[in-house]
Structure 1
């Protein structure tokens, strides 16, 4: 059958593989562009109304988070929460310094429930890191509804 030496080798390898530490993913919050901290709470406004004399109103549909220079993240995680069952049109992008962007989420009428936040992750291009992560929230049904969002960069 099996020799004791083979069985001993097998069990040694098996038990050694159990004690190899598993490296947990480390994530850190990204800072808001033009704001303080890393979390934003917004109530969706009406669209921008332009006139030839300037805008009457400005929308608050775009929010950007800065990717710190010199950081190489494996992925980015956007979390959107709402205190009520609210429906939003949501798009998310990784923005690159060559003026291109990778869209990684696009849903119209997405319902964010209080007990079920929307969590979406995206991987950067293999050759470069984005300089910003963008969240675009709008929709006629979303006017006056509030959400909270944050972005994490993960190693």
Structure 2
């Protein structure tokens, strides 16, 4: 009976550690977004609907798609990256068009500093309006980052 009681006590103690020390992942609070520039809006990430997304670099999760609202003509875009590690982050952005084509509109290697927001402004190379923008970040595995994307009139 003492052995069963001991095993139950150990199992309870081990399960409590899950609540006290949650697994690492996307549980960290997001950095506050800066004020939205006049005539700009934040785009929403396709799967979560969030305007700012936190990711941890793992094999196969480099891509994040943001929906571009219809009925609005954007003249330029602002990409934002908040590195959570002092590391190199390779950022690429691709416009996705309704006809199935795409075009790379931004490509830069960024020397990220922990929690220092990096912003880049870019325009459409063809003046075509995309329906989605793919934000691709490559960095060392387990590096974390936050991204957001704005469209401006």
If the length of structure 1 is used for normalisation, what is the TM-score? Answer: 0.67
2:97 and 2:122 map into 1 onto residues whose CA distance is 14
Displacement of 1:115 after TM fit? 6.0
Q: Give the stretch that moved more between structures: 90-99 or 142-151.
A: 90-99
Query: 1:131: which partner in 2?
Result: 131
Count residues with an aligned counterpart.
116
| 1:40 equivalent among 25, 29, 53 | 53
Confirm whether residue 27 of structure 1 aligns to residue 40 of structure 2: yes
1:148 and 1:25 map into 2 onto residues whose CA distance is 22
Larger Rg: 1
Unaligned runs of 5+ in 2: 1-36
1:101 and 1:117 map into 2 onto residues whose CA distance is 27
| 1:34-82 deviation digits (Å, cap 9, x = unpaired) | 1132110000002xxxxxxxxxxxx211001000111111111110011
Confirm whether residue 146 of structure 1 aligns to residue 147 of structure 2: no
Displacement of 1:138 after TM fit? 1.9
Displacement of 1:137 after TM fit? 1.3
**Structure 1 residues 123 and 107, CA gap change in structure 2 (3 angstroms):** closer
